[in-house]
Amino acid sequence: MKTWITRSAFLAAMALGLGGTPAWAEGSGTFRYAEQVKLITMDPQKQSGSGVPFLRPAYESLFEKGPKGDYVPLLATGYKVDGLDVTITLRQGVTFSNGEPFNAEAAAKNINRGVELGIVEGLKTVASASAADEYTLKIKLKEPDPAIIDSLCLTGGMMIAPGAMDDPALDRNPVGTGPYIHSKTESREGEVQVYTPNPTYWDKDKIGLARYEVLEIPDDTARLNALKTGQIDGGNWLANPQSAIIDRTPGLKLIRGTGGLNYHIIISDREGTVIPAFADVNVRKAMAYAIDRTAFGKAVQFGLAVDSYQPYGEGHWAYDPALEGVYAYDVDKAREYMAKSKFPDGFSFDMPSIPLYQSRLEALAGFFKEIGITMNIAPQEPGTLARVSRTTAYPATNLVWQTNTDPKFLALRYIYENANYNPFKAKPSEELLALAKAGLESVETDVRAPIYKKMAARLADEAFLIFVASSPILIGVSEKTASNPTVVYRYGEDSINLRGLKAN
């Protein structure tokens, strides 16, 4: 259980793939990145969704992910997890952009604030944090959490200057240790956030730009036009017609990042309280076999998604190639399973939908119709699907799962009796429960991978989570950006690593 990792700054840089880049003292040029979502907050501990590219210039996390998803110390230098105790050693000589020193006391204050706010999912297992000495941070967990370091790679580990925490406008005045500082005077609310080099940055050689801009362009076509005309150097996209255009336009390139969104169906009423047929595993398997995932990916996700049979994507440590094609489209087999079930004549049920998922559900309804199941699509207001899915209003729902999320969250989301998306409080099978528990007993991915592979296989067997298609993280870039050797895409994130980034 005990793991002690201490890496030098040099090794950290090497692991990030930046070791070979030349050093420079001052940045030059501008890099412009377009975000598909509007900026909501620049307070990392109040961030609950997209928008991390707005935070990365100003904030650094304790760890970040290397090219293969491994944990690389950034503001930390090492960690040790021993049961419920996590010890993190911190980098010395770092200051926040407002001049405050970065030390264990500041880090503890950050973690405790995150716990108190309760918005960052990754900090929900943390009881409290304290400073053991000036550069040693102690975190006490409420329960074993093998993903705690993973969480500290993201917003949960981003460090805010303690003096800035009392600023009611912190969401627009970020103060961190990052290579760039937010320029409020040059930024235009709702349009562009401007960042300039941080003169107090601890690793000045990694400041490669004189100016970094994050533009808010939520309209996909407008973002595409901005990329085509060189107004932006890159931007993020979902699998939609515009990203498909980028993929086939000479002079532009669509980067497929590790991680992404896995679209899946959740049979919430798997004990058959409202829809008795859902309690029959044969019915659920029939539904899984009835979906032509390849046609779905081509027609609904513009050829940018891959067929999915498990929660993790290729490249993830828990991904199991053996599960590929486990429910490959086979309508005859689907009919056989329906015939074997207690509901051979089919049944009907209601499925909530938001406009974004309407075409997906229409395609799925067509597949289910082939085996006698009528899925009625019930439109919901945008933004309400998650809440509706947490209630018993519908016997099934459809959501996306971020494939780079630690697998422990699968149980918290869907498996446990009190899981967020188990509104009917269905009791999990003994096998799933045991696997979920076993997955928490080690921090080592080598140890955890076989456990979560078994869990994915078990989930496939129980078929109450029906995975349909997985679209990767998509970043559209210009030809110049594509050939810029300093551009490093963050693992599992829709942003570019700014440390060492130079203008095209």
Partner 1 sequence: MLKLVSRRLLALVPLLFIVSVLTFSFTSLLPSDPVDLIIGDTGTQEQYEVVRERLGLNQPVILRYIQWLGRAVQGDLGTSFFNSVSVADAVMQRLPVTLSLTLVSALIAVAVGTAAGIAAALRPRSWVDRLATVGATIGQAIPNFWFGLLLVAVFAVNMRWFPATGFTPISASPWEWLRSVTLPAIALGLSSSAAIARQVRSAMVGVLQQDYIRAARAQGLSSRRVILKHALTNAMVPVVAVLSFQITVLLGGSLIVEQVFSINGLGTLAITAVRQQDIPMIQGLVLVMVGLVVMVQLATDIVYGFLNPKARPS
Quick one: 385 or 432, whose CB is closer to partner 1?
Answer: 385
Quick one: 91 or 408, whose CB is closer to partner 1?
Answer: 408
Minimum separation from the CB atom of position 203 to partner 1 (A) = 30
CB 351 within 8 A of CB 487: no
Quick one: 217 or 503, whose CB is closer to partner 1?
Answer: 217
Minimum separation from the CB atom of position 138 to partner 1 (A) = 26
- For residue 147, report the phi and psi dihedrals to the nearest 5 degrees: -100, 15
Quick one: 46 or 256, whose CB is closer to partner 1?
Answer: 46
CB 62 within 8 A of CB 157: yes
Give, rounded to a whole angstrom, the gap between the first and last alpha carbons of the chain: 45
CB 61 within 8 A of CB 88: no
CB 100 within 8 A of CB 87: no
Minimum separation from the CB atom of position 221 to partner 1 (A) = 7
What phi-psi label fits residue 64: left (phi over 0), alpha (psi between -120 and 50 degrees) or beta? Answer: beta
Minimum separation from the CB atom of position 143 to partner 1 (A) = 16
Quick one: 329 or 467, whose CB is closer to partner 1?
Answer: 467
Quick one: 49 or 485, whose CB is closer to partner 1?
Answer: 49
Minimum separation from the CB atom of position 447 to partner 1 (A) = 26
- For residue 167, report the phi and psi dihedrals to the nearest 5 degrees: -70, 115
Percentages of the chain per state (helix, strand, coil), in multiples of 5: 30, 25, 45
Minimum separation from the CB atom of position 204 to partner 1 (A) = 30
Give the integer Cα–Cα distance in Å for 178 and 94: 10
User: How many angstroms separate the most distant Cα atoms in the chain?
Assistant: 72
Q: Which two tokens stand for residue 438?
A: 């076993």
Minimum separation from the CB atom of position 412 to partner 1 (A) = 9
Minimum separation from the CB atom of position 32 to partner 1 (A) = 10
How does DSSP classify residue 373? Answer: E
Give the integer Cα–Cα distance in Å for 165 and 180: 19
Which residues are 373's β-sheet partners? 347
Q: Which residues contact 250 (CB under 8 A, 6 or more apart)?
A: none
Q: Which residues contact 149 (CB under 8 A, 6 or more apart)?
A: 63, 71, 79, 81, 86, 443
Q: Within 10 Å of residue 303's Cβ, how many Cβ atoms? A: 14
Helical ranges in 352-500 per DSSP H = 358-369, 385-389, 408-410, 430-438, 445-462, 479-482
Minimum separation from the CB atom of position 189 to partner 1 (A) = 6
Quick one: 20 or 382, whose CB is closer to partner 1?
Answer: 382
Q: Which residues contact 446 (CB under 8 A, 6 or more apart)?
A: none
User: Hey, is 45 helix, strand or coil?
Assistant: helix
Quick one: 371 or 477, whose CB is closer to partner 1?
Answer: 477
Quick one: 190 or 250, whose CB is closer to partner 1?
Answer: 190
Minimum separation from the CB atom of position 118 to partner 1 (A) = 6
Quick one: 189 or 362, whose CB is closer to partner 1?
Answer: 189
Minimum separation from the CB atom of position 230 to partner 1 (A) = 9
Quick one: 382 or 485, whose CB is closer to partner 1?
Answer: 382
Q: Which residues bind partner 1 (CB under 8 A)?
A: 38-41, 48-49, 118-119, 121, 168-172, 188-191, 215-219, 221-223, 225-226, 228-229, 231, 380-384, 386-387, 390, 399, 420
Give the integer Cα–Cα distance in Å for 371 and 351: 17
Burial class (CB within 10 angstroms; exposed 0-12, middle 13-18, buried 19+) of 146 = buried
